[in-house]
């Protein structure tokens, strides 16, 4: 499963990169997408796939699958996995596309899905009925699939049960049995942990008062959304979002259940009792403390689930569209996707069983794996929109006043909609 460079971790988009993608999209409209490269190759083929993880184990697995593919495809001389820096991955990738140097395949984070699919930058790929329809939705247009949902990783809560014990607090597992595992309990427990131990109660990992899309893991519990279903109207100022953000503001500044701005607490280093993050982060666990993994707490609207996703697509302006599509089919088939599932949770019906997942995730108990399965099957992907970079920056800037003790939540959220309105109208 993805570690530091997980899909949820990668949020730093650049406006210049997505502008380049738009340019590339216009080029595709006025030219035959991949027409000069989409047929059979002339001579040996070299495929290049951009990725944002330089993890040695990830690369070892990908290279082994590529080697297996080449055994039966001698026309493919090599398959290179090109690691681009995560902080400017989208900028680099989209600049390559616009500059006529597009890779053959690329990982794409969910925040950028709408831009890539809408622009025509991706070539249609083969569908697979074993993949959950809900997992493919973000990558579809006009009945065609434009990227394989390479990683579908559910969010949940990792728990330091040793720290909760020191603070004389119940564990989430105990509260789940009582039907009391809620965000209100998180605030109460987190406050008690901070008061008694000085440690943080709850941390929304990677949020750091900048990466606001991660707050979907909280506001979904109130049924809140950043914009309407058609993407045209801002809903930050609606009652559901106001309720969610008021809860969060109180939990931070009144209850002291979450770290205040300017402070950090790493759950995996033992600095917090609980953290909201993806199951992918289980690789960061050690034997420093006893831990558990449980579903997200229930909100005012009851139980819910959130997943983070990344897709793997074929670039329409790559040099070898046909060969890249064939390799992607091989890379994502049932056998190889089972191997990938060790690091990147797969949304395949055939693999969503405790027995299958245990083989690739031996550190998780059957009960914890049930949380993973339920999250993949029923979790919702956070809303995606075109003009991602502009939207992310507009909302981040408008939310800054919220992270102060005396903030007026309603007033701030109205300001968010004022800032967001021009972006949604594009």
E strand or H helix at 201 = strand 200-204
Max distance between CA atoms of the chain, in angstroms, equals: 70
> From CA 31, how far away is CA 386, in angstroms rounded?
22
Q: Copy the structure tokens of residue 393.
A: 């920056």
The DSSP bridge partners found for residue 203 are 275
d(CA 291, CA 281): 13
Options 2.40.160.60, 3.30.70.2970, 3.40.50.720, 3.40.190.10; CATH for 155-306 is 3.40.190.10
The C-alpha atoms of residue 312 and residue 337 are separated, in whole angstroms, by 12
Domain assignments of the chain as residue spans, ordered by start: 15-153+308-381, 155-306
* Rounded Cα gap, residues 270 and 8, in angstroms: 21
Q: Which residue has the tokens 């099957």?
A: 377
Q: Could you check whether 15-153+308-381 and 155-306 share the same CATH topology?
A: yes
For each of the chain's 426 residues, which pLDDT tens digit applies? 443 334 333 344 334 445 555 444 434 433 333 433 443 446 789 999 999 988 898 999 999 999 999 999 999 999 999 999 887 898 899 899 989 999 999 999 888 898 899 999 999 999 999 999 999 999 999 999 999 999 998 999 999 999 999 999 999 999 999 999 999 999 999 999 999 999 999 999 999 999 999 999 999 999 999 999 888 999 999 999 999 999 999 999 999 999 999 999 999 999 999 999 988 788 788 889 999 999 999 999 999 999 989 999 999 999 999 999 999 999 999 999 989 988 888 999 999 999 888 877 777 889 998 998 998 998 888 777 877 778 989 999 999 999 999 999 999 999 999 999 999 988
- Which residue matches tokens 């006009």? 142
pTM here is: 0.82
CA distances from 187 to 111, 202, 323 (A): 29, 8, 53
- Could you tell me which residues are beta bridge partners of residue 159? 274, 292
Q: Which CATH architecture has domain 15-153+308-381?
A: 3-Layer(aba) Sandwich (3.40)
- Rg of the chain over Cα atoms, rounded to whole angstroms, equals 22
């Amino acid at each position: 499963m993805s570690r530091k460079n997980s899909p949820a971790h990668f949020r730093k988009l650049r406006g210049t990169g997505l502008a380049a993608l738009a340019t590339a999209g216009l080029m595709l409209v006025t030219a035959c997408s991949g027409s000069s490269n989409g047929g059979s190759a002339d001579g040996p083929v070299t495929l290049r796939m951009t990725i944002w993880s330089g993890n040695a184990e990830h690369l070892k697995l990908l290279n082994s699958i590529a080697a297996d593919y080449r055994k039966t495809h001698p026309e493919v001389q090599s398959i290179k996995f090109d690691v681009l820096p995560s902080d400017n991955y989208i900028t680099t990738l989209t600049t390559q596309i616009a500059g006529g140097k597009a890779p053959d395949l690329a990982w794409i984070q969910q925040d950028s899905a709408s831009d890539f699919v809408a622009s025509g930058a991706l070539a249609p790929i083969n569908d697979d009925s074993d993949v959950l329809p809900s997992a493919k939705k973000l990558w579809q247009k006009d009945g065609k699939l434009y990227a394989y949902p390479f990683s579908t990783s559910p969010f949940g809560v990792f728990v330091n049960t040793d720290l909760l014990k020191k603070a004389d607090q119940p564990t989430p597992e105990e509260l789940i049995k009582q039907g009391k595992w809620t965000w209100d309990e998180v605030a109460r427990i987190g406050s008690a942990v901070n008061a008694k131990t000085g440690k943080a109660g709850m941390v929304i990992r990677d949020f750091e008062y900048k990466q606001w899309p991660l707050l979907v893991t909280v506001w979904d519990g109130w049924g809140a959304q950043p914009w309407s279903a058609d993407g045209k109207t801002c809903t930050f100022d609606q009652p559901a979002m106001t309720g969610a953000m008021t809860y969060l503001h109180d939990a931070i500044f009144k209850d002291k259940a979450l770290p205040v701005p300017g402070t950090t607490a790493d759950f995996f280093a033992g600095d917090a009792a609980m953290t909201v993050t993806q199951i992918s982060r289980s690789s960061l666990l050690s034997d420093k403390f006893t831990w558990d993994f449980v579903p997200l707490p229930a909100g005012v609207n009851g139980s819910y689930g959130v997943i983070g996703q990344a897709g793997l697509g074929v670039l329409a302006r790559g040099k070898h569209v046909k060969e890249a599509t064939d390799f992607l089919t091989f890379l994502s088939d049932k056998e190889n996707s089972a191997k990938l599932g060790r690091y990147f949770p797969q949304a395949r019906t055939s693999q969503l069983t405790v027995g299958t997942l245990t083989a690739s995730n031996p550190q998780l108990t059957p009960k914890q794996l049930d949380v993973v399965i339920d999250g993949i099957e029923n979790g919702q992907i956070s809303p995606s929109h075109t003009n991602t970079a502009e939207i992310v920056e507009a909302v981040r800037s408008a939310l800054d006043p919220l992270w102060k003790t005396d903030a007026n939540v309603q007033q701030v959220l109205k300001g968010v909609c004022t800032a967001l309105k021009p972006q949604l109208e594009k």
